[in-house]
C-alpha cells in the first residue's frame, strides 16, 4: 500500500502552520519574486515589457559594479575572518581559569555589539576625523604616527577604518557565542586528555575546536550575512566614497536615482552571493544530522 504524503497528525497541523506560511510568503517570497521580475523588466516599476538580460549586461559593464563586488569581497573576507578569530580569542581569554569578574568583562565587551548601528557609526566617524579626531590624537600622542592619518578621506585608509569598526562591533557576538559553547564542554574530556599527556595545543585541536563546530558555523554564517548586507555603518561613515561602495550601497544608490531595474538586478546578484553561503551552511548542517 502506498504511504500517504502526510500523516494524520501532520494533516491536523496544517491549519496551525498555514497562517505562518502565508505571512512568510507575503513578507519574503512576494518581495523576492517582485525584485526578480523587476530585474528583467524594461521599466523601473516592473510593469513594462520584458527586457531579457539587458539589466544584467549593463550591470556587468558598469565599472561601479565591478568595484562594488571587489569591495564587498574584501570587506566580507577581512571582517568575517578577523572578527571570528578575535571573538574566539576573547572567549578563550575570558574562559581561562583565574580570570575574575567574567560576567562584567563579557558585558563590557558586549556593549559594542548592542549599540545601534547608526549610533556607533556616527561616534566612530567623529573619532576618525582627520583634524581633531581622537584616534589620530591618541596615535600621535603615543608617537605611533607623525601626522594625522586621513582615515575616512583617503581611498587608502577608508576601507581599513570601516573594517576596524565592523570588527569592533561584531567580534563581541562571537565572543558571547563561543563563551556559551565553551561552558558546555564536558570537563571529563579535558581530564582524560590530561591523563593521556595531551598539551594545550592538542586539547584545542582535538577537543575544543571539534566540539565548537556547530557554534562556529552559526557565528560564521551570521558574520557573513551581516557583512554582505551591512549598510548603515558604511553609509554613515563614508557614504560609499573613497572606494568603499559595497553591493548594498550600490543597490541603494541605484534606487535613489530611479534605476529601479538596475537596482533589482544588483539585488539579485547580492542575493546569489548570500545564497551560496546559505546553501553551503545548510548542506553542512544536513550532513552533520545524517552522520
Partner 1 sequence: MKKMLAILLAMLLCIGCVAAMAETTIQWWTPNWDEPESREMAAEFEALNPDIKVELVITDWDTYKSRVTAAISDDNAPELYSVLTTDVVPFAQLGLLEPLNELGAAAGVDFDDLLPSAVAIASIDDTVYGIPFRHDGSGVYYNVDLLKEAGYDSFPTTWADMVEMSKALTKDGVYAFAQPLGNQANAVTRLVQQLYTYGGDVLAEDGVTCTLDSDAAKSALNTIVSSIQEGYASPSSAELDNTKERDLFGSGKLAFYISGPFDIDTLLADYPELNFATAVIPGLDGMACTTANGWTIIMASKAKDENKEAAAKLLAYLTTPENQARLTDSFPASYTALAYEQFATDYLKPFADQLENSKPEPTYTRWAEMEPIIYEYIQYAVSGSMSVDEACESMAADITALLSY
What are the backbone dihedrals phi and psi of residue 196, each rounded to the nearest 5 degrees, phi first?
-80, -5
- Closest distance of CB 65 from partner 1, Å: 10
Does 150 sit near partner 1 (CB under 8 A)?
yes
- Closest distance of CB 30 from partner 1, Å: 16
- Closest distance of CB 118 from partner 1, Å: 13
Q: Which residues contact residue 219 at a Cβ distance below 8 angstroms, ignoring those fewer than 6 apart?
A: 84, 87, 173, 174, 177, 178
Binding residue for partner 1, selected from 95, 243, 277, 285, defined by CB under 8 A: 243
Sign of the CA dihedral running 125, 126, 130, 134:
negative
What are the backbone dihedrals phi and psi of residue 257, each rounded to the nearest 5 degrees, phi first?
-100, 25
Binding residue for partner 1, selected from 4, 20, 49, 63, defined by CB under 8 A: 63
* Rounded CA Rg of the chain: 24
Stretch that binds partner 1, among 11-19, 63-71, 81-89, 202-210 (CB under 8 A): 63-71
User: By the 8 A CB rule, do 90 and 172 touch?
Assistant: yes
Angle between helices 63-95 and 247-256 (to 10 degrees): 130
- Closest distance of CB 78 from partner 1, Å: 20
- What's the chain's length in residues? 291
How far is the CA of 162 from the CAs of 31, 67, 147, in angstroms? 30, 16, 20
How far is the CA of 206 from the CAs of 136, 198, 200, 211, 214, in angstroms? 43, 10, 10, 9, 15
Binding residue for partner 1, selected from 14, 17, 22, 45, defined by CB under 8 A: 45
Binding residue for partner 1, selected from 32, 73, 154, 274, defined by CB under 8 A: 154
> Which C-beta is closer to partner 1: that of 80 or that of 265?
265
Does 64 sit near partner 1 (CB under 8 A)?
yes
Site for partner 1 (CB under 8 A): how many residues? Answer: 34
Binding mask 112-141 for partner 1 (x = CB under 8 A): -----------------xxx----------
Question: Taking the CB of residue 230, how many other CB atoms lie within 10 A of it?
Answer: 22
Stretch that binds partner 1, among 69-77, 94-102, 212-220, 258-266 (CB under 8 A): 258-266
> Which C-beta is closer to partner 1: that of 170 or that of 254?
254
DSSP 209-266: HHHTHHHHHHHHHHHHHHHHH--HHHHHHTTTTTTT--HHHHHHHHHHTT-HHHHHHH
Does 240 sit near partner 1 (CB under 8 A)?
yes
Stretch that binds partner 1, among 4-12, 57-65, 93-101, 166-174 (CB under 8 A): 57-65
Stretch that binds partner 1, among 56-64, 83-91, 212-220, 264-272 (CB under 8 A): 56-64
Does 274 sit near partner 1 (CB under 8 A)?
no
Which helix (H) or strand (E) element contains residue 73? helix 63-95
- Grid cell listed for 260: 529601479
Can you tell me the distance from the alpha carbon of 225 to that of 280, in angstroms, rounded to the nearest whole number? 13
> Which C-beta is closer to partner 1: that of 51 or that of 80?
51
Can you tell me the distance from the alpha carbon of 29 to that of 6, in angstroms, rounded to the nearest whole number? 24
> Which C-beta is closer to partner 1: that of 172 or that of 240?
240
Contacting positions for partner 1 (CB under 8 A) = 43-45, 57-58, 61-64, 67, 129-131, 150, 152-156, 239-243, 245, 253-260, 262
Amino acid at each position: 500500500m502506498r504511504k500517504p504524503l502526510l500523516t494524520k497528525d501532520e494533516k491536523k497541523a496544517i491549519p496551525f502552520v498555514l497562517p505562518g506560511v502565508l505571512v512568510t510568503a507575503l513578507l519574503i517570497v512576494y518581495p523576492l519574486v517582485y525584485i526578480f521580475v523587476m530585474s528583467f523588466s524594461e521599466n523601473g516599476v516592473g510593469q513594462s515589457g520584458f527586457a531579457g538580460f539587458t539589466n544584467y549586461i549593463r550591470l556587468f559593464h558598469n565599472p561601479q559594479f565591478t568595484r562594488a563586488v571587489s569591495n564587498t569581497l574584501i570587506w566580507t573576507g577581512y571582517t568575517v575572518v578577523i572578527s571570528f578569530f578575535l571573538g574566539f580569542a576573547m572567549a578563550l581569554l575570558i574562559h581561562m581559569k583565574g580570570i575574575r569578574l567574567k560576567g562584567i568583562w563579557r558585558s563590557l565587551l558586549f556593549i559594542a555589539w548592542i549599540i545601534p548601528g547608526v549610533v556607533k557609526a556616527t561616534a566612530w566617524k567623529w573619532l576618525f576625523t582627520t583634524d581633531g579626531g581622537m584616534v589620530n590624537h591618541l596615535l600621535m600622542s603615543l608617537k605611533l604616527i607623525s601626522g594625522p592619518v586621513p582615515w575616512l578621506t583617503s581611498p587608502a585608509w577608508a576601507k581599513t577604518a570601516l573594517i576596524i569598526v565592523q570588527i569592533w562591533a561584531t567580534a563581541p557576538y562571537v565572543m558571547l557565542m563561543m563563551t556559551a559553547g565553551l561552558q558546555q564542554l564536558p570537563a571529563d574530556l579535558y581530564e582524560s586528555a590530561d591523563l593521556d599527556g595531551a598539551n594545550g595545543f592538542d586539547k584545542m585541536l582535538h577537543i575544543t575546536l571539534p566540539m565548537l563546530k556547530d557554534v562556529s558555523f552559526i557565528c560564521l554564517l551570521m558574520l557573513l550575512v551581516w557583512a554582505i548586507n551591512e549598510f548603515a555603518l558604511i553609509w554613515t561613515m563614508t557614504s560609499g566614497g573613497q572606494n568603499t561602495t559595497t553591493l548594498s550601497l550600490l543597490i541603494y544608490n541605484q534606487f535613489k536615482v530611479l534605476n529601479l531595474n538596475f537596482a533589482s538586478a544588483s539585488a539579485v546578484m547580492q542575493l546569489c552571493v548570500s545564497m551560496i553561503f546559505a546553501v553551503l551552511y545548510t548542506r553542512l548542517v544536513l550532513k552533520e544530522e545524517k552522520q
